[in-house]
Structure 1
Amino acid sequence: MRVRGYAPATPCWSVLTSPDPARTAEFYCGLFGWTTTQSEDGATLFLLRDLVVAGVAPSSAERAAWLTYIATDDAEATAAQVAAAGGTVLQPPADLATRGRATLLADPAGAVFGAWQKLRFAGAQVHDEPGSICWSETVTWDIRATAEFYGSVFGWTDQKGTSADTIHEYHEWISFNRVVGGISEMDENYPPGTPHHWRTIFSIDDCAGFITRARDLGGQVPAGPVDAGIGHAAHVLDPTGGAFLVIEVLPELRALMG
């Protein structure tokens, strides 16, 4: 689906921070059929059908990680709200050439995310179709504390997920009567001490084939395919350690989504 803009308090942009951006780009281009281009400020952008779908940036960390940005009309105000609510401003707002004004943040439990104030670039230009991001969610040990923090910063409310199962509790983020993301509760299936984090989920059209391709390209698949209720899903690690999920939505549900 072509996207031309995002309302405030909506996940709008995702960047993979990687210790080896070149290796990372090779993997994802082979996996999703993406190509790359350079932005005016030197950032590497992934393209799907010549539309910007995500980005990749160098990192000094040992492992790659996907970073979710939330749209805002005022990056300074959002950073101040995060600090007032008990979070941390890891990088203060700064312009990325004329693309946008960005700030790097963490919630009180340590989950890292960003806020993106549009200048010339609003965020991903394609969403919720095979090869693009379809969902972003906070993964937490404490749903209530997480909901209180993000509610105070972005005005989100939360509701029990419409596709929630009996395995673990799942909630959805609501902004201006729209579902914009999710909150996934960690349980005994997660290793003790797994940090709170934001998770990026991609839409795909063939989970079994995707898993084979990911392994052939040097990735790992710790879990999947598994029945996620709305389709078949898999947990994937890229060759530099970046974790993400993919889901092949059931055809009847995909038809309802448009």
Structure 2
Amino acid sequence: MAAGKRKAQGGKARKPAPARAKSVGLGRAATSAVRTSFGRFCWYDLATTDVPGSLRFYGELLGWTIRSTDMGPMGAYHVVSAGGAEFAGVMPLASRDTPPCWLGHVGVPDIGTACTETTKAKGSIHRPPTSIPGAGGFAVVGDPTGGVVAPIQLAGPPPRDLAAASVPGLIAWNELVTSDPAMAGAFYAHVFGWTIHPVELTGSPYWVFRHQGDDVAGMIEAPASPVPEPASWMVYFHVADADAVAAKVAGLGGAVLIPPFDVATVGRCALIADPAGVTFRIVRPEEE
């Protein structure tokens, strides 16, 4: 589960509000049991220039448990868990030409078919199908607007929807920021079978990706720019107290880019950069 060629995450610091919690992803993540199905984010990788520093930063900030494993030719791989659920890995960046990043893996029944459909949908293959010893296979693909994800075919049961579990430290939501929502939406609909649904927000249009009726991710249009930036995926980590978590960031070597703020019917959010510059958000979901 390794990151391939990847554009920098995050872009300009701003406040894109997630979709309304009571009707879409974050609300369901706060109340639903873990589901099992393809078409959902089921694993994440952090590829970074400073593995020890990243493990310390996220471990102390989010309360992760970490175990290290030898992946042979792929080197050391550090598996992280929250609330007893393993959900991500941390590894060295494969190339200094690639920015450090969070990379989400979406479960698919057949990795070869996912790559074929990526090409048909005018996407790009950053890393062709690659075997994971004893686990299955994955690839790294890009949508036509620059967003990067990793379809993954697991050898075991279909992957779980980790975002459905209300556990601090897990990823609660995934959000695509793109200059062309129509083009990006068509790509993900074709490759992963997602459906696209507009939702009401204050200030900005917002779309929710759904799979088999369940919310799996959000999408927002990037601000207009003479030279549009490539799209990027942002992860939201579930926290019990956004203000308390944000207050710890600077002491661990990170930076709070946008301090905690409230999003009506969603919760309290903040935008953070880790010591390597990778951006992510934290969210304390609003009580139902």
* TM-score, scaled to structure 2: 0.80
3-state SS in 1 of match to 2:39? coil
The structural deviation recorded for 1:2 is: 7.2
Single out whichever of 222-231 and 25-34 deviates more from structure 2: 222-231
Answer with 72-81 or 227-236: which moved more.
Answer: 227-236
Match of 1:235 in 2: 271
Alignment-mate amino acid for residue 240 of structure 1: A
Distance 1:2 1:217 in 2: 32
Rounded to whole Å, the distance in 2 between the matches of 1:52 and 1:29 is 13
Greater length-normalized contact order (CA 8 Å, ≥ 6 residues apart):
2
The amino acid that maps onto 1:184 is: I
Q: Does 1:143 align with 2:181?
A: yes
1:206-245 pair list within 5 angstroms: 206-229=241-264, 230-245=266-281
Q: What is the percentage of aligned positions where both structures have the same residue?
A: 27
Structure 2: which 5+ residue stretches go unaligned? 1-31
How is 1:124-143 mapped onto 2 (pairs within 5 angstroms)?
127-143=165-181
Equivalent residues of 2:82, 2:167 under 8 A apart = no
Query: Alpha-carbon deviation of 1:191?
Result: 10
**2: CA distance, partners of 1:236 / 1:191:** 26
CA apart distance, 1:166: 2.3
2:198 counterpart of 1:198: no
Work out whether 1:73 is the aligned partner of 2:103: no
- State the secondary structure of the residue aligned to 2:130: strand
Is residue 2:200 matched to residue 1:167?
Answer: no
2:204 equivalent to 1:178: no
1:22-60, Cα deviation, whole Å (9 max, x unpaired):
111111001111121124524211122443132112112
C-alpha distance in 2 between matches for 1:212 and 1:192: 35
| Contact map agreement 2:83 2:168 (CA 8 A) in 1 | no
1:117 to 134, 141, 153: 153
CA offsets 1:117-170 (integer angstroms, 9 cap, x no match): 111484676744211111112111111111111111112111113xx4222111
TM-score w.r.t. structure 1 length?
0.88
Hey, what does 1:83 align to over in structure 2? Answer: 119
Separation of aligned partners in 1, 2:161 and 2:89: 9
Where in structure 1 are there 5+ consecutive unaligned residues? Answer: 254-258
